[in-house]
Every structure is written in structure tokens, then in C-alpha cells.
Amino acid sequence: MTSDKPIVVENPWERLRAFTDARIGLGRAGVSLPTGKLLEFQLAHAQAQDAVHCPLDVEALAQQLQEAFAFEHEPLRLHSQVEDRAMYLQRPDFGRRLNDDSRERLQKAAASQSRVNLAVVVVDGLSALAVQQNSQPFLKALYQQFEQDSAEWQLAPLTIVEQGRVAIGDEIGALLNADAVVVMIGERPGLSSPDSLGLYMTWAPEPGLKDDRRNCISNVRPGGLQMGEAARRLFLLLKEARQKKLSGVKLKDRSEDNVLDGDAAATGSPRNFLVAD
């Protein structure tokens, strides 16, 4: 070798990594990924693939939530028509509907219950980890919003669904005579975020509704959208849905603000550094 240049070129902007989880400033060998960064990626992918196949410990979750919130009715444990993970991955249609046993039990539970404002449904989705870790802190933040509101919020018994998809909430909400349903579901694991919760809200739930009737808030996790902020946004959506009696694309999310401004306050910089002069 005649050149004293390094084989791997580091990026002089590497310190930007302190400001984001994105894989920036990785450096390069030629124009390719250096070996260390390549293997870090491969490890993260391996872990995410494993997370997809990890089952929800539904017993532990139900117990944890009951202890935390002392519900009048214990959380109802439900199951979709999916039999195993392989079927879950290839048959989303089965994941959107309750199995017969769950439907019957839910009907029985709902028989004694009058109309409620909201049903909250916890669903494993593609990340049991997200549901296991984030359900309790998120529900705590959400219940605080209801308590602080001047209007009364009648809630259906909490339900926990195994092998479910988002749309299963519509069937559950309808069976529980709920004006609206919120589904808290484990999102597909990302490399940097195996623990991300998605929130989906539908006004007037019934089986067969499409995505245009739902509003979504995603990336709810300790390293993403914080529980309190997610609960605040969801609550604003619910208030507006209740007032206008609709949800989905006709109901714009007007929670706005505070995301960018909030970050600016946290970083001490009011502006994008790329244009700050």
C-alpha cells in the first residue's frame, strides 16, 4: 500500500448520531458499509425477526392491568380465528374476526351492559413486546385524560386479543355497544424499535369498516412518541369524534403543535441547524 489514507472513511458529522436513532454517519469502505456497521445491522434484523414470533403472555398482562387499575370487570381475554403465527402472517382475514368462543363470551358479557362511550381493545399484533411493555403506562395516561375531562366517559370492559389485527376492534366495539373503539396494537417491529405501539380509533365501529374510517397514531413507545403526548392526542381525537360523530379521513387530527416546539424546547434550539445562521 502506497497510500496512507485509511481504508474506512469516518464521517465528520458522526456526532449527529446523538440527536437521532437513525443510522446516520456510518462511514464507508469505498461507498459501502464498513464491516462493524454491517454486522450491527444483521444483529438487529435477527432480533426483530425473533420478536415477530414471540407470543404474548396474555395471562401476565391481564393480571398486571387488573392490579394496576382495579377494574370493576376483569379484562376479557379474546382470540381471533387465527390458530398459530404462521397462519397469522398469511391470513390477515382470520386475524380480523373473533373466533366463535370469544364472540359468544363477549356477547354474554355485553348483554348486561348498556351503551358506553368507548371500548379499549389491546391486541398483540406483530409485537407482543410492545403490548406487554407499553399497555399499562399508556392506559394510565389515557385514563388521566378522561378523569380531567368535564364530560363523563363510560368505558366498556377492557379486552385483550391474541393473534389479532386492527380491524378486530370494530367487531369488539360493536358487540360491546360502544360509540367508539380504540385499538392498541403491537406494530411490526422495526430494527431500532421492536416495542412500538399503534393506536387506532374508530367512531361507530362495526365489522367490515375500511381504513378511511380510522384515525391512527403510531410509534408510541419510550423511545418514540411519549405515552402522555400520545394519550393527549388520542383524547383530542376522541373528543372531536364524539362531538362530530365521525372518524377517519373526515376527522383531521388537529392536535398539532408541541411536537416540533416541544422538541425545540428540549434541545434548546428553536430552529433547524441546517438553516440557522
98 secondary structure, DSSP code: B
Residue closer to another protein (CB basis): 24 or 60:
24
Phi, psi of 153 (to 5 degrees): -120, 105
Q: Which long-range contacts (CB under 8 A, 24 or more apart) does 17-21 make?
A: 19/267, 21/192, 21/193, 21/223
89 near another protein, rule: CB under 8 A:
yes
Q: Given the rule CB under 8 A, which of 12-20, 66-74, 134-142, 152-160 is the region that contacts another protein?
A: 12-20
Q: Given the rule CB under 8 A, which of 6-14, 62-70, 131-139, 145-153 is the region that contacts another protein?
A: 6-14
Residue selected from 9, 39, 43, 60 as contacting another protein according to rule CB under 8 A: 9
Q: Residue 164 corresponds to which amino acid?
A: G
Phi, psi of 215 (to 5 degrees): -110, 145
Residue selected from 35, 63, 90, 243 as contacting another protein according to rule CB under 8 A: 90
28 near another protein, rule: CB under 8 A:
yes
188 near another protein, rule: CB under 8 A:
yes
Burial of 176 (0-12, 13-18, 19+ CB in 10 A): buried
Cα separation values, 35 from 28, 30, 177, Å? 9, 12, 56
Q: In the block, which residue shows the cell 373526515?
A: 250
Residues 38-77 that bind another protein (CB under 8 A): 41-42, 44-45, 48-49, 51-52
Q: Which of 16, 55, 22, 17 is nearest to 192 (CA)?
A: 22
Residues 111-140 that bind another protein (CB under 8 A): 126
22 near another protein, rule: CB under 8 A:
yes
As measured in angstroms, the least distance from the Cβ of 123 to another protein is: 15
Residues 201-230 that bind another protein (CB under 8 A): 208, 210-212, 215-219, 222-226
Residue selected from 92, 107, 206, 243 as contacting another protein according to rule CB under 8 A: 92
